[in-house]
Structure 1
Amino acid sequence: MICQFQRTIKRPISIEGIGLHTGKKVKLKLYPAKKNEGINFIRKNTLIPAKIDYAHSFDYSTSLMKDGVVVKTVEHLMAAFYFTGIDNVFVEIDEEELPILDGSSKEFVEAIKKAGIETLNEEKFYAVIERPVQVINGDKFIKAKPSSITKFSYQADYNNTIIGKKVFTYVPNDKKSYEGIFTARTYCFLEEVEYLRSVGLAKGGSLKNAVVFHNDNVLNEEGLRFEDEPVRHKVLDLVGDLYLLGYPLVGEVFSFKGGHRLNAEFVKTLLKENAFLIKPSSEVIKTINENYRNAGIKI
């Protein structure tokens, strides 16, 4: 989301649901925050900044931890904050895992829009990629390069006729790609379910909050929301995980078969290699919008 000023929510938001992996009922409350306070989770009287420094676990989701207090599966809400341009908010949670809801960011985005978005009297800051950077793990990789048009792309590589080797690219502020990403649901294969539950995961998973594949079939009665929904969801996860950098990225990012662990490694590499500069919106937004228009992207 390309914005000039920082944002928060106008009113508190309450959301209830179950955790995908814990299966526990959870209550989530979002509260407005002041400028430059950032995104922070609150659990057991512990404030956990939504920053990569506190990233803790990456097995089928992204978790944060501070002083032994854990908050799990933050990526869909983090993506919703990115999609709506939220920079500052407090997220209070009464259990260890955020609610999975329908498996996408849809209900988070809708709740934020319903509560209203407050524009704050402070410039927004962006992390502008200055030089190419990449991380590689076996046959998986994520690479990024400077670009005046921000793009987040994901390419899958499944031996499955539905997902296959599809690619999806999300361009912030491009209406078409935006509308086709935040509603994309998480997914798994039926043969994975038994394993996940044997290691204490997916206890709250069902056809109501995930797309389930068996061989080349979709088990959900309603089918897919998009023919490439799984790949779109991978981009959603990528966006949510990258927002743990603390700033929205300006640049082009391409992920091949990446997941939460590689996403986190990529963010850490950006920091380690000083591959970006933090710039206020006044230095970047005019150029960004001009390049979007020149490229024929509707904003």
Structure 2
Amino acid sequence: MFCINQRTIKREVEIQGIGLHSGQPVRLKLIPSQADEGIHFVRNGTVIPANIEYAKGFDFSTTLIKDGVAVRTVEHLLAALYFTGIDNITIEIDAEEVPILDGSAVQFIEAIKDAGIDIMKAEKIYAVLNKEVTVKDDDKYITGKPSNSFSATYHAYYNNRIIGNKKYTYSNLKSDYENVAMARTYCFLEEVELLQQMGLAKGGSLNNAVVFTEDSVLNPEGLRFEDEPVKHKVLDLIGDLYLLGFPVIGDIYSFKGGHKLNAEFVKKLLEEKAFDLKYSTELDFNDVKLVA
């Protein structure tokens, strides 16, 4: 038996940037919390738990809403909290959208590490899948199966030479974490005008997103990895899964899924009571470890 304890950060840290979709400047503060408090956003005095109950919008990002107050594009920050093993934190934000930074999770991770990670006395709790669960939307689907570890696989299928038919599996290894954390969000140039007509992507640029046009990459530096788009989809999946409130033990496979299907999957896990909450000392799994 071994024990993994809950985590928060040692000191408050501030992050500034712009919102990808709103284009508005935003200041965000990460603040230490007590054990078993979980992850909460605070905006305009409203406390919004980072919980699937409050996930209400999925237009090219995940939005949490409570009492009419919204916080958008939470998935990259939530993935960073997962990677660093943060269970308890308060996130104060002065605008509607979490800053996009470079379009990945790596700068959030750097800020968390700069603040320092505080190992708490309370034991960490995991959501251990106890049966297979699947959600579908036409040809898209997500399946979760019981396992002795955690893995998240994304299978992309695009009519595009660069993205094409590719899949990537994150399996809690250091190399997986570093690759997935650095993968940037992306879009197609042909989509940009439509997104802007929808009131989205107002803050998008080649500094915070990979932009494709047909089979070319517009960013001068190119891709960080050959399969960067697929790895970013894994990043989004991990961030959305953290809305369950606990890190998952199980194998998750997503074929062409997105934020809405991710949320439906988390909701179905709850509805079907498809997991058991267990302390780390109740687990015999060798793969329950923190990589960041």
- The equivalent residue for 1:56 is 56
CA drift at 1:3: 7.6
Alpha-carbon distance between aligned partners in 1 of 2:150 and 2:10, rounded to the nearest angstrom: 28
SS of match in other structure, 2:37:
coil
Partners of 1:100 and 1:13 lie apart in 2 by: 17
Letter in 2 for 1:118: D
What's the CA shift for 1:149? 2.2
1:205 counterpart SS class: coil
The Cα shift of 1:56 comes to: 1.1
Could you tell me which residue of structure 1 aligns to residue 266 of structure 2?
267
Counterpart residue number, 1:149: 149
Change (3 A) 1:123 1:156: same
Superposition pairs of residues 142-181 of structure 1, within 5 angstroms: 142-172=142-172, 174-181=173-180
User: In the alignment, which residue of structure 2 is the partner of 1:76?
Assistant: 76
Deviations 1:219-245 (A, max 9, x none): 000000000000000000000000000
The one-letter code sitting in structure 2 at the alignment partner of 1:268 is K
Aligned residue runs from structure 1 range 111-150, under 5 A? 111-150=111-150
Mapped to 1, the partners of 2:17 and 2:237 lie a distance apart of 23
Q: Structure 1 residues 39, 3: closer, same or farther in 2, change over 3 A?
A: farther
State the partner residue of 1:17. 17
Aligned-pair distance for 1:179? Answer: 1.3
For 2:4, the equivalent position in structure 1 comes to 4
Deviation, 1:175, is 1.3
Note the C-alpha offset of 1:176: 1.5
1:24-72 CA deviation, whole Å, 9 max, x = no partner?
0000001000000100000000100000001110010000011111000
- Determine if the alignment matches structure 1 residue 87 to structure 2 residue 87: yes
What letter matches 2:217 in structure 1? V
Q: Distance in 1 between matches of 2:260 and 2:288?
A: 31
Aligned length: 290
Q: Which runs of 5+ in 2 are unaligned?
A: none
1:36 maps to what in 2?
36
CA displacement 1:104-139 (0-9 Å, x = unmatched):
001000010111100000000000000000000000
SS of 2:47's equivalent in the other structure is strand
Amino acid aligned to 1:224: L
Partners of 2:188 and 2:73 lie apart in 1 by 19
The unaligned stretches of length 5 or more in structure 1 are: none
Q: Percent identity?
A: 61
Q: Cα distance, 1:288 vs. partner?
A: 1.8
1:231 counterpart = 2:230: yes
The list of structure 1 runs, each at least 4 consecutive aligned residues, that deviate by more than 3 angstroms after superposition, is none
TM-score by length of 2: 0.97
Aligned to 1:279, the other structure's residue is in SS state strand
Other-structure match for 2:277: 278
Q: Output the amino acid matched with 1:288.
A: F
CA contact (8 A) 1:3 1:85 kept: no
Whole-Å Cα distance in 2 between the matches of residues 276 and 149 of structure 1?
A: 14
